[in-house]
Structure 1
Amino acid sequence: MNITIHYAFLPHDDPDAALGFYRDILGFEVRNDVGYGGMRWITVGPPDQPGTSIVLEPPAADTGVTDEERRVITEMMAKGSYARVALATTDLDATFARLEAGGAEIVQEPTDQPYGVRDCAVRDPSGNLIRINEVR
């Protein structure tokens, strides 16, 4: 069996700010940008990995979510506790410098973790936690 990760979903509350972070700071390419019903879905991904994408979606898009659940999701997003993703790079220091220069909210500077990973953490404009691991 050959299974790969095709899409992961992260909520956004400001599509233009999300584009500024994922496209302009991280260097992801925009693969799709679709508006419908006053909402916007943006698909981004690393240029050298056309089969792997992140879909930035409005948290209100799921019609099965109640207003109370949307409120809780919005609060969790603001705290950075609703969604997260781990990315990888071969040059963590350069990636961190680019994030810092781009104004990303820094959660943790590059650190050697006791479990053997060197990584850093930032939040995207919607509060999603982005951990970036250094791979060799």
Structure 2
Amino acid sequence: MITSIAHATIYVLNQDDALDFYKNKLGFEVGDDMKVEGGFRWLTVHPKSKPQLQLVLAEPKEGPMFSKDAADKIRSLIAEGAFGAGVFETENCHKTYDELIANGVEFIQPPTEQLYGIEALAVDNSGNWFSLVQR
């Protein structure tokens, strides 16, 4: 029986740049940062309060998972903003929005009342959008 989700993947254009964004702008902590033979890098981050949920910052490259054509297509879609990184929860959307703006995070929608709570929409430095929600 499955009991939880441990890892979710966010495809990024550059792992070093993404690490800087998620660590220094969003305040996430590094879970794993391992390089293995062949140039593969296993890089995860997580919110400080949720180390059990690791976000894999994966750079699509030609290799066992992707052909060169597929990796190029995924990179193009990332750059176009076609992917979402998910929903990040906060206890105070307005306060967190102000903190993240001060850290240089780009928002495409300020905190707005929705049926499910208060939501702001932002993008990471690869072009992935994410929702910041206060329920």
TM-score (norm 1): 0.86
- Tell me if the contact between 1:11 and 1:83 (Cα under 8 Å) persists in the aligned partners: no
2:71 is matched with 70
Question: CA offsets, 1:49-74, max 9 Å, x none?
Answer: 22111011111165242222112111
Aligned mates of 1:104, 1:111 — CA distance in 2: 17
Does 1:32 find its partner at 2:32? yes
Instruction: Give the deviation of 1:40 after TM superposition.
Output: 2.9
- Tell me if the contact between 2:13 and 2:79 (Cα under 8 Å) persists in the aligned partners: no
| Structure 2 residue matching 1:119: 3-state secondary structure | strand
TM-score (norm 2): 0.87
Aligned mates of 1:112, 1:58 — CA distance in 2: 34
| Structure 2 residue matching 1:48: 3-state secondary structure | coil
Aligned mates of 2:85, 2:117 — CA distance in 1: 17
Cα 1:16–1:3 shift into 2, 3 Å: same
Q: Which amino acid aligns with 1:119?
A: E
5+ residue gaps in structure 2?
Answer: none
Instruction: Give the deviation of 1:125 after TM superposition.
Output: 1.0
Moved more, 8-17 or 86-95: 8-17
Aligned mates of 1:14, 1:102 — CA distance in 2: 19
2:80 is matched with 79
1:15 is matched with 15
- 4+ residue segments displaced more than 4 Å: none
Does 1:103 find its partner at 2:104? yes
Instruction: Give the deviation of 1:120 after TM superposition.
Output: 0.6
Instruction: Give the deviation of 1:84 after TM superposition.
Output: 2.4
Aligned mates of 1:2, 1:15 — CA distance in 2: 29
- Tell me if the contact between 2:62 and 2:71 (Cα under 8 Å) persists in the aligned partners: no
Instruction: Give the deviation of 1:35 after TM superposition.
Output: 2.0
Of all paired residues, the percent bearing the same amino acid is 31
5+ residue gaps in structure 1?
Answer: none
